[in-house]
Amino acid sequence: MKRTVVLLAIALTLAGCTGTAGDAPAGGTGTAPTGPGLTGTLTVFAAASLTDVFTELGDQLEAENPQLEVQFNFAGSSALATQLTQGAPADVFASANPQQMDVVSGAGLPRGTPVVFAENVLEIAVPPGNPGGVTGLADFADPDLALAVCAPEVPCGAAAEQVFAAAGVDAQPDTQEEDVKAALTKVQLGEVDAALVYATDVQAAGDAVEGIPFPESDRAVNEYPLAVLTAAPNAAAGQAFVDLVRSEEGQQALTAAGFRTP
C-alpha cells in the first residue's frame, strides 16, 4: 500500500511546487472515471469526517491508475482553508461546510464553482455502556459530566452552536477539539462522558462508541462542497477524483458511510 497521509503541519514552502493546471471545471459529470492513464501525485485536502470514505475512494483511483499516488491531508476544514490560502499546494479541497469553502473561494483558489456532494448531521457519542447516563442534548449543560465538542471555528463546532441554540441548551463543554476525529477520540478513550460529533463518525467507530440521535440535529445540516483548485499541480487527477466522488459509485460509498445525498 502506497497510501501517504499528509500531516496537518504541512510545510508551506512553494519553491518548485507550482504546476500548470488543466482546463477541466471544478464540477464533475456524475460519471466515474474509467481506464488507466493518470500519473504523478494527487493531493487532496479534506475534512476529517471524510477520512474513511475518501481513503476508500483514493484506493480505488490508485487501483485504476497504477502510476498515480493519492495523498490526503485530513483535518478541520478551517485549518485546511488557512493552509490553502497561505499557499499550501493541493489539487482538491473538500470542506465540511460552505463557509470554509467560501474562505478558499474568496482567495480565488477553486476552478469554477464548488459542488456540494454530501450532507451530514450531528449525533451524541458516548462510551460503551453510557457510564455518564447521557440521554440527550440537554445533558451538555450538566457541569457534573465531562463533555467534548468541536471548536466553534470548525464546521462541527459551528453546527454544535446551532443545535444548542435551537434546543435552548446552555452548553458547558470541558474541551473544544480541533476537529471531529479529536472529539470522537476523547469518547473512545473514555476521557469524556459524551461528545457531539457527526453521525458518520459514530457509525465509523463501530462498537467503540454508542450513538444517541437527537431531534435538533436537523436544524444544522452540514453541506460538503468540493472543488479542483486553480493552481492544482495535477489537475487531471484532481478532476478524476472529483468525478469519482460525484459518480453513482462514489455517492453509494458516501451513503454507506452514513452521509446524506445532497
Q: What domain range includes position 24?
A: 4-11+19-119+223-256
49 with 169, same domain? Answer: no
Global pTM value: 0.83
For the stretch 250-254, contacts whose Cβ atoms lie closer than 8 Å and that sit 24 or more positions apart, written own/partner, are: 250/32, 250/57, 250/117, 251/117, 251/118, 253/53, 253/56, 253/57, 254/53, 254/117, 254/118
Is the pLDDT at 9 greater than 90, yes or no? no
- Give the integer Cα–Cα distance in Å for 33 and 37: 11
**101 and 143 share a domain?**
no
Same domain, 239 and 209: no
Domain count, the chain: 2
**Could you tell me the CATH number of the domain that includes residue 61?**
3.40.190.10
pLDDT in tens, 167-211: 999 999 999 999 999 999 999 999 999 999 999 999 999 999 999
pLDDT at 28 over 80: no
Helices (H), 128-246: 155-167, 180-188, 199-205, 235-246
pLDDT exceeds 80 at position 26: no
Instruction: Tell me, yes or no, whether 193 lies in a domain.
Output: yes
pLDDT tens for 144-168 read 999 999 999 999 999 999 999 999 9
The answer as to whether 262 is a domain residue is no
What is the per-residue pLDDT for 227? 98
Considering only 26-30, 76-80, 105-109, 167-171, which range has the smallest mean pLDDT?
26-30
Q: Which residues pair with 94 in a beta bridge?
A: 46, 226
pLDDT at site 36: 52
Are 144 and 210 in the same domain?
Answer: yes
37 band by pLDDT with thresholds 50, 70 and 90: confident
Statement to judge: residues 168 and 207 lie in one domain:
yes
- Residue 261 included in any domain: no
Q: Does one domain contain both 162 and 244?
A: no
35 in a structural domain:
yes
Whether residue 61 lies inside any domain: the answer is yes
